[in-house]
Amino acid sequence: MNKYSLLTMKDLTKQDILQILDDALLFGTDYKDWQLPRSKALIANLFFEASTRTHYSFESAELQLGCKVADIDVGKSSVTKGESLYDTVKVLESIGYDAVVIRHSQDEYYKELENISIPILNGGDGQKDHPTQCLLDLLTMYQEFGTLEGLNVVICGDILHSRVAASDKEALEKMGATVRFAGPEIWRREGFTPVELDDVIEEADVVMMLRIQKERGSSLGDMTDAEYLERYGMNKTRYARMKDTAIIMHPGPINRGVEFDTDLVEAPKSRYFKQIQNGVLVRKSVIKRAFGYPPFEKENA
């Protein structure tokens, strides 16, 4: 495995995370036009699950850095002939790709890829991890509050099936924030401190809603969309109870009228589209790191 692969937030130290975030911030300002000195790097994007934000913001980041991008159409590849994930990635490496971005429904799919030497950037594995989503969430909070230390974060919804909840918990705790989890009892997860959203809404700095992961078997049962919004979602009553300085977030895609009142998606406290913008910055930062480039020198910035 290449040491610059980004597979799980567990592999990053607090210092690694701060360096990635600082580089991402600089990509938004002084280093906007910075490109990989080793230009024309070939990157393959291999998405086995549906994706808009992650897939196309990786692509945008790659193109902005001067890479050449191959968007592998899994449905037209030899995966349909039964070729294994390992063989598929080994083929891409043998063809000459310099790095690969992978999203796959299997938890820790990368464990099969130990013998791959090019960097692997994880675009989401099963219910386990989603490191670049986590980093863009952290960046959004870091920009807002100037630190992650001491932040009071509540994540609400389908915790059980969410790789975003898992990665964000891992990283936020590492950075000194408090993270608690709300939503229907059936979606609680062992080791994830449960709270009632209405009990903590006034003290939270960040309230993040999660999508109901229907493709992983989650269902509202007898509850209607409107009932879910009323009991567990970000509605106008809860929004009004939040601190003036607090923000609301969602990794997307949003089910409007279920997790979020549709009028709140672009409300002043919402950072939903900011998160998406930040996704390009953190992906530029992790791609730069994947090719072994050290953090930007701040004093030159």
Whichever of 23 and 137 has its CB closer to ligand NCD, that residue is 137
Please tell me whether residue 233 binds ligand NCD under the rule CB under 6 A: no
Would you tell me how many other CB atoms lie within 10 Å of the CB of residue 94?
8
Which of 164, 206, 234, 249 contacts ligand NCD by CB under 6 A?
164
238 in contact with ligand NCD (CB under 6 A): no
Q: How far is the CB of 78 from ligand NCD (least distance, A)?
A: 25
- DSSP letters, 79-122, are GGGT--HHHHHHHHHHHT-SEEEEEESSTTGGGGGTT--S-EEE
Structure tokens at 251: 């990794």
In the set 104, 211, 284, 288, which binds ligand NCD (CB under 6 A)? 211
Q: Among residues 31 and 45, whose Cβ is nearest to ligand NCD? A: 45
Q: Report the residue number, 53 or 174, with the smaller CB distance to ligand NCD.
A: 53
53 vs 188 by CB, closer to ligand NCD: 53
What is the three-state SS of 19-88?
HHHHHHHHHCCCCCCCCCCCCCCEEEEEECCCCCHHHHHHHHHHHHCCCEEEEECHHHCHHHHCCCHHHH
**66 is an interface residue for ligand NCD by CB under 6 A:** no
Query: Does 289 participate in binding ligand NCD (rule CB under 6 A)?
Result: no
Q: At its nearest, how many Å lie between ligand NCD and the CB of residue 270?
A: 15
Contact 107, 130 (CB under 8 A): no
> Could you tell me the two tokens for 31?
């280093």
Interacting residue ranges for ligand NCD, rule: CB under 6 A: 53-54, 124, 130, 133, 163-164, 211, 251-252
